[in-house]
Amino acid sequence: MSTEQTLSIKYAASLPPSFPIIWREEAHYEKARVGRVFNYRRPARFPIAVVEATTEKHIVDTMRLASEIGCRVAVRSGGHSWAVWSVRDDSILIDLGKYHEFDLDDKTNVLKASPSTTGRLLNTLLSARGLMFQSGHCPEVAVGGFLLQGGMGWNCRTWGWSCEKVLAVDVVTADGRQLYCDKSKNRDLYWAARGSGPGFPAVVTRFHLQCIPAYTHMRSSGYIYALKDYRKAFEWAIKITPDFDADTEIVCVGSTPPGMSETHFMVLFVTFKNNDKEARAALQSAQDTAPPGHVVSWFASETSLPLQYDDQHAANPSGHRYAVDNSYIKNDADIVSVMEKAVTTLPSSKSFALWYGMNPCSRRSTANGTFPDMALSMQSDHYFATYAIWEDEKDDSRCQSWIKAIFAEAQVHSEGSYLGDADFQVRPTRFWDTEQGARLMAIRKKYDPQGRIAGYLDAGDKSRTDGLANVHEWEMEKGENGSEAKL
């Protein structure tokens, strides 16, 4: 008899008959394990069981069960983690895909939403009330992992991080307590919930989100250049970003555009306004100053969140294999040179390299109170990310090696990385400023001293209660005096 069969028999009597648990030996286990995992490069990791929770009590009971068995608990909100953090050995996986809540207070525009609510669904429901939320760009991304990681949402460069709109969270702790956390109650957990990522030492059951009025006139402009004009196009985008219209998102992408056969460099603008005149005015300076030579362009075209989600879905197709990495490149670095190899050597026609301009949001400071007090603290003007996308397993090694090679060179220019596009198994680096990183690891040990909740999936899944070292890879290899570092 297998271990899972023994456990299922032993604990069946202690669980309600309707308790939605699927043990490893059961018929639907494999679908429950990875059926909602976005990345088709599925891991060879096998939880003891999967609980498809539909109520908060299911989550509380799972924590109790894990304590009795002596195993960990992992959590899946949307399944969009590139590294598939939710699928862990020696764990019970709580899948929140069937756990739904959407409760809007029409007087305050505060929304109570379950972690598995995707950006597309959330904004579809909010739009009927004339509201929106700064969700993730990819429509399938759920708010759970997205907000815990900080949330690089729509127009982050001036509207700030999406987690700044989290007013409170409801959680179930490792010892099964149900807590409400905000800036006055359980403040340390609230602080950690805004930027801890998968190492948050509790299970979030509900986010309290401040929504904003929806914009009635979204417009986009785009300028696509051949690679020979990469430098002049990129330098232009960097120059205009800091002082550009505050309601306009600016992103640069190296990719193979639809209908083309070669890599091009695109400078894209999306503005959020409430009338056509404002939208066109916001985009006019880009139209007036765009360097000549673009092979395709458009100005102030009508768009919407549904259309933008469709574009993002096309750029991040389902049923594919993914490897990603990213860095916040230092403000004084030559970002054009740092990204050039990535843009010009993409490993497949669906892969892309991205620059997201974060200035002026990145220039806020905790010293003068313009940057919120929260775990999220890593930032720079230049967010650089690569997404290798392919279909055939035989290309795994080649595409993953390409990612590694790009950041082996780029990381010397890096301040650190964003949790949402990272894989801790591949490359250690900094994810928080030093003070915030140390504070976060202390909060983790305070609320989960036994490591009941599976945290940061590093190489070999060894970090457990210690969490991440929060140092660059080269700092781990050698200490300050040239000796091997002991972490």
Q: Mean pLDDT across the stretch 61-71?
A: 95
Q: How far is CA 7 from CA 21, 149, 160, 255, in A?
A: 12, 34, 47, 49
Residue 16 amino acid letter? P
**How does DSSP assign 446-467, residue by residue?**
HH-TT--B-----GGG--GGG-
Q: Mean pLDDT across the stretch 127-139?
A: 97
Does the pLDDT at position 482 exceed 70?
A: no
| Locus of tokens 């998102």 | 249
Q: What is the pLDDT of residue 487?
A: 30
The answer to whether 114 and 122 are in contact (CB under 8 A) is no
Q: Mean pLDDT across the stretch 159-164?
A: 97
For residue 230, what are the contacts with CB-CB under 8 A and spacing of at least 6? 254, 265, 336, 340, 343, 344
Q: What is the pLDDT of residue 193?
A: 98
161 in helix, strand or coil?
A: coil
For residue 180, what are the contacts with CB-CB under 8 A and spacing of at least 6? 168, 169, 170, 186
Does the pLDDT at position 484 exceed 80?
A: no
Q: What is the pLDDT of residue 478?
A: 59
Residue among 472, 373, 382 nearest 164 (CA): 373
The answer to whether 329 and 414 are in contact (CB under 8 A) is yes
Residue among 263, 403, 268, 257 nearest 327 (CA): 403
- pLDDT tens-digit map of 259-274: 999 999 999 999 999 9
The confidence band for 477, taking pLDDT boundaries of 50, 70 and 90, is low
* Largest interatomic CA distance in the chain: 73
Helix axes 56-69, 3-12, angle to 10 degrees: 120
Q: What is the pLDDT of residue 486?
A: 34
Where do the domains of the chain lie, and which CATH numbers do they carry?
Answer: 3-95 (3.30.43.10), 102-213 (3.30.465.10), 217-421 (3.40.462.20)
Cα separation, 23 vs 51, in Å, equals 9
**In the numeric block, which tokens belong to residue 453?**
């909740």
- Cα-Cα-Cα-Cα torsion 69, 75, 80, 84, nearest 10 degrees, comes to -30
The answer to whether 7 and 66 are in contact (CB under 8 A) is no
What is the three-state SS of 417-447?
CCHHHCCCCCCCCCCCCHHHHHHHHHHHHHH
470 in helix, strand or coil?
A: coil
CA 229 to chain centre: 31
- pLDDT tens-digit map of 385-443: 999 999 999 999 999 999 999 999 999 999 999 999 999 999 999 999 999 999 999 99
Q: What is the pLDDT of residue 235?
A: 98
**In the numeric block, which tokens belong to residue 124?**
């579809």
The confidence band for 8, taking pLDDT boundaries of 50, 70 and 90, is confident
Give the containing element (helix H, strand E) for 40.
Answer: none
The confidence band for 481, taking pLDDT boundaries of 50, 70 and 90, is very low
Q: Mean pLDDT across the stretch 270-286?
A: 98
Task: Enter the DSSP assignment of 81.
Answer: -
Q: How far is CA 471 from CA 332, 428, 468, in A?
A: 20, 7, 8
- pLDDT tens-digit map of 9-47: 777 667 888 899 999 999 999 999 999 999 999 999 999
